Chains A and B, each alone.
Chain A
Amino acid sequence: MTISLDGAVSGANTARRLAGGGFSPGNLRSWLIQAIIVFAAYYIAGRLGQASAARSVSVGPLWPAYGIALAALLRLGNRMIPAVAAAAFAVSFHNPTPIAVVAGQAFGTTFAAFCGSWLLKRFSFDNSLSRLRDVFNLVLLGAVISPMVSATLGVATLYLAGIEPYAHVANAWLVYWMGDGTGVLLATPLALAFGRSGLPLNFSLLTEYVALNALLLLSCLAIFGFFGLLDTGQDSLTFSMLPFVMLIAFRFGLLGTSLSTLLIVTVATVATGNGEGPFARSANFTNAALLDIFYAVLSLTGITLAALIAERERAELQRDELVRRQAIAQVQEETNKKAAELQDQLAHLSRVGMLNTLSGALAHEINQPLAAIRLNTETALFLLMRQPAALQDLRETLSDIREDGKRAGDVLKQARALLKKETGSREEVELNSAVSDVAKLMHPTVLKLGVQLDIQLGSPSRPIWADRVQIQQVVINMLMNACEAVEQNDRSLRLVRLTTSFSAETATVTVTDTGPPISDAEIQQLFEPFYTTKPGGMGLGLVICRSIVHAHQGKLTAVRNPKQGLTFTVEIPFMGLQPAQPLG
């Protein structure tokens, strides 16, 4: 099991928490380990803070422990309150103060950290400190406002117990407040960044970091008088630390800059404690205040820059992602368009092929009325020559000629429509009429193959929104398949049924045949491209049909009948692609 340093319990724990809830032994164990880490970090930071306050008891110029407390509650949540309180108590216990004061200071620290973390969370603080607003919130709410609570409670406790570390209560409050605030600026980013892999750790990067810090350490030691090289009274020299901090923030982010700042702070604190360096010249209070300001400037510069850079990098990533997505969307759109075009072309070619197969039938359908017209014309001429002319008979004959002429024209119109290339336009289609027209077109084929076609049309509730030609293409395809499937049967068993039916949501066409038995595997294969049982067949008919039906948001399925043969079902939803109906 891994112990996470973040509030979100990882891996097995999450699963267990989701599954059972409550306080399982695993949760307890991870809490215990986190609490020990928090306690240890606070204790070490507290002892270091106490060491920095060599000259004054109880109130140091720098109190990193408070920063640890705030980070612990931010990262691990309020369940770390006991650990923080215990550690604060343990640290204060080292002071020669009454137990009540120890408890009061521990309470003040814990309560202030709680207030700080609560405020930050309210302003949706992100622990990665990778946004400028988070840095701003950390400074304002974490480093300025929340230490006011700890400073007020702590100083009050001290003064109530009669302990006065500085000449004036205001000074004591200020040092207390600045110590905790600087502690937040220094320790909280470090504790928040610690254990998060921000940068890929490779050898050259590590070398660069170590070299930069070595240089920084040397400059720092020189400025704070360790080599006796410089006039250590020159506090303006301390600004030479800034370029280092900035460069490191730029190159190594939050964790890098936090660690380097800690290095400077350590040197400066130790030197000042020993009476060396630019901050050891004045009274205790002034020294403490100057040191705190120095630390705050360093830390603020580092974390602000780190956040700015993180923000910019994220923006660049987002922009790249956006550009990439747009490019993908564009390619997809073009691909879809091209695919739709190709599909239309394929459907058209398929119709051309279908008409080729149907050409005999078409000729028959045109020849029938033509034959009737020739006969009727001959009769009409004959009737005209009679004396007196048989006008009533003549009228009937001419009327039949007119009807047959229309019939031949209709057949040609149908064929032309099926050959039409531009399809894809949707209109209101009366499914029954479209299906009937197809059945008429198929009539000669049906006759020639000796098939008995049974047509049962349901009563339509409303038209479908569809491409009429494409829907007819699908029905012709299904009918031709069905007729060919029953062709080998005895004449009395060549039955094909074509039905339409309508529900509230869908219009359905079924074609049922009494063809030979077919296996499940073969049913699966029916819709695969280039699967065919017909000599000379391409095996694309049903594939194209299915794509047409899909383009209408519908379904094309095949199921085996209980006795024999297959039933193909096309379902077209009414609401498929229909535009919104105008009101009124």
Chain B
Amino acid sequence: METAKPKPNVYVIDDDPSVRNALVRFLLANAMEVLAFDTAEAFLAQLPQLAPGSLIVDMQLPGMSGLDLLTKMACDNIRWPALVFSGAHEGNEAAAAALLGPNRYLRKPFDPKIVLQALHLNPGGA
């Protein structure tokens, strides 16, 4: 582990506290810089102050959905890589997410290693 290397920034947006906490704990343990939000709106409000990073977004959020958030960011030309996941599986959500940027779509429950893989392989995240 190279301590000199700056920690990657990861932003977790999930309304479900247990999933959100588990993600944060998992990412922290894997030496990442993590900020968590329970709604897309809360994230957007903070966005101007945030350093570029990766997103982990749940599709189903109260208010603005995960897909809505990615669309909004794409419109504002912010194309951070995102890991999108969903508990209920709708075929076209994955395709839509893929169109909006360097995104990956995961189904819950997912293999945690894939999360790490996805984050490390993304050059934007490093």
Contact = CB atoms under 8 A, between A and B. Distances in A.
B65 interface: yes
Interface residues of B, number: 28
B102 interface: no
A125 B124 CA distance: 110
A467 interface: no
Contacts, number: 88
Contacts of B112: 374-375, 378-379
A222 interface: no
A427 interface: no
A452 B16 contact: no
A493 to B, nearest CB: 13
Interface stretch (A78-86, A399-407, A431-439, A560-568): A399-407
Contacts of B34: none
B89 to A, nearest CB: 8
Contact of B88 (A374, A375, A444): A444
B13 to A, nearest CB: 13
A372 B23 CA distance: 7
B62 A379 contact: no
A396 B21 CA distance: 11
Q: Is the interface of A mostly helix, strand, loop or mixed?
A: helix
A404 B16 CA distance: 11
B1 to A, nearest CB: 12
Interface in B25-43: 25-26, 29-30
Contact of A372 (B15, B19, B62, B115): B19
Interface string B100-125: 00000001111111010000000000
Contact of B65 (A375, A400, A450): A450
Contacts of A360: 88-89
A379 to B, nearest CB: 5
A397 interface: yes
Interface in A339-378: 360-361, 363-365, 367-376, 378
A358 to B, nearest CB: 11
B61 interface: yes
Contact of B87 (A379, A396, A397, A444): A444
A407 B85 CA distance: 20
A364 B87 CA distance: 4
B108 A375 contact: no
Interface of A: 360-361, 363-365, 367-376, 378-379, 382-383, 393, 396-397, 400, 403-404, 407, 444, 447-448, 450, 452, 491
10 contacts: A363-B87, A371-B108, A371-B110, A372-B16, A372-B22, A375-B23, A379-B26, A407-B18, A452-B62, A452-B63
